[in-house]
Amino acid sequence: MDFELSEEQKSLQILARKFAMEEMLPEVAELEKRPDGEDKFAYDLVKRGAALGFHSLGVPAAHGGDGASVLTQCVVVEELSVGSPSVSKVYSHNWKAIAGLIAVATPEQLARVVPAYLEDPLYCIGIAITEPNAGSDNALPFDADPAAGPALSAVREGDHYVLNGMKQFIAMGAQAKYVTAFARTDRSVPWTKGTTGFMIFPPHEGFEAGRLHEKVGLRCYPQHDLIFRDVRVPVEDRLGEEDRFQEGRRSVTNVGTVEATATSLGIARRAHDLALGYARERVQGGKPIIEHDLIGALLLEMFTRLEAARTLLWRTAWSIDEGVHDQKLARATKVLAVETLNYLAAKAVEVWGGMGVMKDAPVEKVYRDAIQLYHMGNTNQVNVLKALPHL
């Protein structure tokens, strides 16, 4: 692997960095101040980023997108996440959703989603799997008991399926113009053998976005409940064969894992940069605090951990681009990045001292955002468990 980025990658990196620091960072800081219950989605920022190419970047060239490599996507996501992980996640989540759809959809089904996505800078895609009683059970997956896993039901009636139930914490659920929904078509078998995917195009009778969940971090990346009340879906909107949906989506698991990892690295770099900048300016004991050995050593440790996490991410992204899908490597990368992020965020607050916990201090937001990544791309514990069989 060559650690020297190509000229194209460097140009995208600079473009993303400029947009993140000059536009995303100040505007999202203001959006986050909106009261609970108000829409905080950064519509204008997302559109401007799309005009720069971020909307189409991760869509394969064969389907009309820019076809950026996984490594290139990671480089861009890290830069954007320094400015706002909320906005960065809009793009990377959509790339992940399209990759998942390509793995299971027919050409005719893809033609109803991908061109519309590429033409509309605010086209968002929902992935409806998590439910109140089905979180890590879905990810492990736990299938020893047919009662475990998703409970959203899909019953066939002639040339339609009727869906009933709800989903929880669905990213951009209210903004989505297309939703991939996981539903149980056979409750007599474990969910991995009795789940089917369906295409939902809001507005759709019986389907609606419910409660907006207010989070401590990534406050401009909305997550909603999705409600299904006798939602009739035609057979032609079924994704793949009945009861076999889980098999098709496994092929893109690693891509989704590194997407969350790159987001973590961007926030971690913001934590490092804030700590370093403050330590150079803050004077105590007659000199900048970076010149005190304890603070200097801490900053070096932060730098070392950040570089190590990025190196492992690039190694993982490169391997995926080379066609090697190593579950152990991808899972370990995500675990290391999230642990690194939360260590750096906590230490950045420590370097800032009493000011670090004040709401008008930028490092306070970093600390809140960091916590969110523990549960994106599966929990660290789930990632460890899924890596163990590959040791």
| Domains of the chain as residue ranges with CATH | 7-119 (1.10.540.10), 124-244 (2.40.110.10), 249-390 (1.20.140.10)
pLDDT string in tens for the chain (391-residue length): 788 999 999 999 999 999 999 999 999 999 999 999 899 999 999 999 999 999 999 999 999 999 999 999 999 999 999 999 999 999 999 999 999 999 999 999 999 999 999 999 999 999 999 999 988 888 888 888 899 999 999 999 999 999 999 999 999 999 999 999 999 999 999 998 999 999 999 999 999 999 999 999 999 999 999 999 999 999 999 999 999 877 656 555 667 789 899 999 999 999 999 999 999 999 999 999 999 999 999 999 999 999 999 999 999 999 999 999 899 999 999 999 999 999 999 999 999 999 999 999 999 999 999 999 999 888 999 999 999 999 9
d(CA 365, CA 372): 11
* DSSP 8-state assignment for residue 21: I
Helices (H), 282-326: 293-321
Residue 8 one-letter amino acid: E
| Residue from 148, 145, 146 nearest 133 by CA | 148
Global pTM exceeds 0.85: yes
Identify the three-state secondary structure at position 145: coil
Q: At what angle do helices 253-281 and 362-372 cross, to 10 degrees?
A: 160
What tokens does 39 get? Answer: 């829409």
Q: Which of 381, 100, 130, 119 is nearest to 259 (CA)?
A: 100
